[in-house]
Chains A and B, each alone.
Chain A
Amino acid sequence: MDRYSRQQLFAPIGERGQQSIREKHVLLIGAGALGAANAETLVRAGIGKITIVDRDYVEWSNLQRQQLYTEEDAAKRLPKAIAASVHLRAINSDVVVEPIVADADARLIEHIVGRHRPDVIIDSTDNFDVRMIINDVSQKYDVPWIYGACVGSYGLSYVVIPNETPCLRCLLEDVPFGVATCDTAGIISPVVHMVVAHQTAEALKICVHAQVNRKLVSFDTWHGQYHMIDVHKLKKDDCPSCGPKRTYPALQYENETKFAVLCGRETVQIRPAHRGEREWTTLLSFLTKRGIQVEQNDYLFSFTVNSHRFVVFSDGRVLIHGTNDVQEAKRLYYQYLG
């Protein structure tokens, strides 16, 4: 087939590798900037099947970097998973594209992975709650996953192979909390593509059964930095996700970040899973720069963005006033509070 001729000419893939790619199933969690670019690259490469999970819809502010989407998608507020699948099928009709418009919570991810056993999970989410769930599901069902994230002009990527490499929880003793997000620190498209270049290269290697890069890769596309770290020493014997006495903490209900509508108050309360130290410097300086007033006392701080009032308590609890919609509250929460 002429379609994949250039990819087959590349010796590490070859005709056999191309056949192998055709038989693989990728699960993509998130269809934002990373998700759209990952999906397009893998669909063009001729992956067998791609399942795309996303809870969000296309907005105008996405078009600057979320390469699959058009103005029409934004005008119609199409769910990203749906808009992506329409464009992806037009790009390559050989590929089975399965969109799932839903929140990627522990139950859903475990259901998909347990039932369909994808060959690799690609992380294109915007928060660590979901990444920790992916990390646990990956270990439980022995499916590799590829971490990717970026903010500003900085990005990083890392492949987790169960029983071989340290898992994400081995590398992170705590969930980064209140760290910079794309909605507070901004993001430029080049770093998205650099992260995706790493993720898709590793995904293709997994598809053709080649050796993956076991190093943690990080880079800054604006300041011209690039670095790889060998992290194998960080594998922990007592890791609750990948150690012998594992408990898969992210899959336990009591460890989920919980969103609850407070009846009659047009308010959603969020109780975060992790009570780690919170660092709000980026958020506070973002709010100050935009001229948004922050009110603060010893117990909480609050601010209003686009008619939604956020109240952040020192114990980590957050109230978002002005909505009864848990999905909307989730979006706002991860947008501003990371």
Chain B
Amino acid sequence: MRCIINGEMIDLPAHIRTVAQLLQHFRIHEKIAIVEVNANIIMKEKYEHTAIADGDRIEIVHFVGGG
């Protein structure tokens, strides 16, 4: 499956079907990430049940602490 993630076209392994799996794939801790799929913000409790599809535009914002 190919998705546009943070502006870049990325090939994802076939087993990744949900937002939760996607975050796991990128090793991003769910609780500190904000995810938008096709310009819709996804509530954290729905990460596991939100499917992603070929061609989706996904934005993942993760928080950092430096400064």
What are the residues of chain B within 8 A of A216 when measuring CB–CB? 34, 61
A338 interface residue per 8 A CB criterion: yes
Docked Cα-Cα span, A176 to B43, in Å, equals: 18
Which of A34, A124, A218 has most chain B Cβ within 10 Å? Answer: A218
Complex Cα distance, B67 from A279, in Å, reads 19
B29 at the A/B interface (Cβ < 8 Å)? yes
Judged by a CB distance under 8 angstroms, whether A69 is at the interface is: no
Instruction: Tell me the complex Cα distance, A154–B66, Å.
Output: 10
Name the A residues within 8 Å of B34 (CB-CB).
171, 216, 229, 231, 234
B27 touches A279 (CB 8 A): yes
In-complex Cβ contact of B64 among A124, A179, A192, A233 (8 A): A179
Interface positions, chain A 111-129, Cβ under 8 Å from B, are: 123-128
Residues of chain A contacted by B8 (CB below 8 angstroms): 225
Chain B residues, Cβ within 8 Å of A127: 65
Chain B 17-53 per-residue mask, 1 if CB under 8 angstroms from chain A, else 0:
0000000000101011010100001011000000000
The verdict on A182 contacting chain B, using a C-beta distance below 8 Å, is yes
A281's partner among B27, B36, B41 (CB-CB below 8 A) is: B27
Chain B: how many interface residues by the 8 Å CB criterion?
20
Give, as a whole number of angstroms, the nearest-CB distance from A93 to chain B: 28
List chain A residues, Cβ under 8 A from B7. 225, 227
Q: Given contacts A172-B31, A234-B43, A276-B31, is CB(A218)–CB(B61) below 8 Å?
A: yes
Q: How far is the CA of A185 from the CA of B59 in the complex (A)?
A: 22
Nearest opposing residue in chain A for B32, CB measure: A176
- Total count of chain A residues near the partner, CB < 8 A: 48
The interface residues of chain A lying within 8 Å CB-to-CB of B62 are 176, 179
Question: Is there contact, CB below 8 Å, between B59 and A277?
Answer: no
Pick the interface stretch among A44-52, A79-87, A143-151: A143-151
Contact assessment for B66 and A151 in the assembled complex, using a CB-CB cutoff below 8 Å: yes
Determine the chain B residues whose CB is within 8 A of the CB of A225 once the complex forms: 6-8
**Residue numbers in A under 8 Å from B65 (CB-CB):** 126-128, 131, 149, 151, 176, 179, 181, 338
Which chain A residues lie closer than 8 Å to B44 at the CB level?
173
Shortest B45–chain A CB gap in Å is: 10
Docked complex Cα distance between A131 and B64 (Å) = 11
Contact of A149 among B36, B43, B67 (CB under 8 A): B67
Q: A227-B7, A231-B41, A234-B43 are in contact. Are A149 and B31 (CB under 8 A)?
A: no
Indicate whether A187 reaches chain B with its CB closer than 8 angstroms.
yes
Cβ-defined contact, B41 with A172, below 8 A: no
Q: Give the CA-CA distance A11 to B31 in the complex, in Å.
A: 41
Q: Within 8 Å of chain B (Cβ to Cβ): is A180?
A: yes
Chain A residues whose CB sits within 8 angstroms of the CB of B6 once the complex forms: 220, 225, 227
Q: Given A225-B6, A225-B7: A30 and B67 within 8 A (CB)?
A: yes
Given A225-B7, A230-B41, 19 new contacts (CB under 8 A)? A32-B67, A33-B67, A35-B67, A126-B67, A149-B65, A171-B34, A173-B32, A185-B66, A192-B67, A195-B67, A216-B34, A227-B61, A229-B41, A229-B61, A231-B41, A233-B41, A234-B43, A276-B31, A281-B27
On A, residues with C-beta under 8 Å from B are 30, 32-35, 123-128, 131, 148-151, 154-156, 171-176, 179-182, 185, 187, 192, 195, 216, 218, 220, 225, 227, 229-231, 233-234, 276-277, 279, 281, 338
Q: Which 9 A-B pairs have the closest CB atoms?
A: A174-B31, A173-B31, A151-B66, A182-B66, A34-B67, A151-B64, A176-B32, A218-B61, A126-B67
8 A-B residue pairs with CB within 8 Å: A126-B66, A127-B65, A128-B63, A150-B67, A172-B31, A180-B66, A227-B61, A234-B41
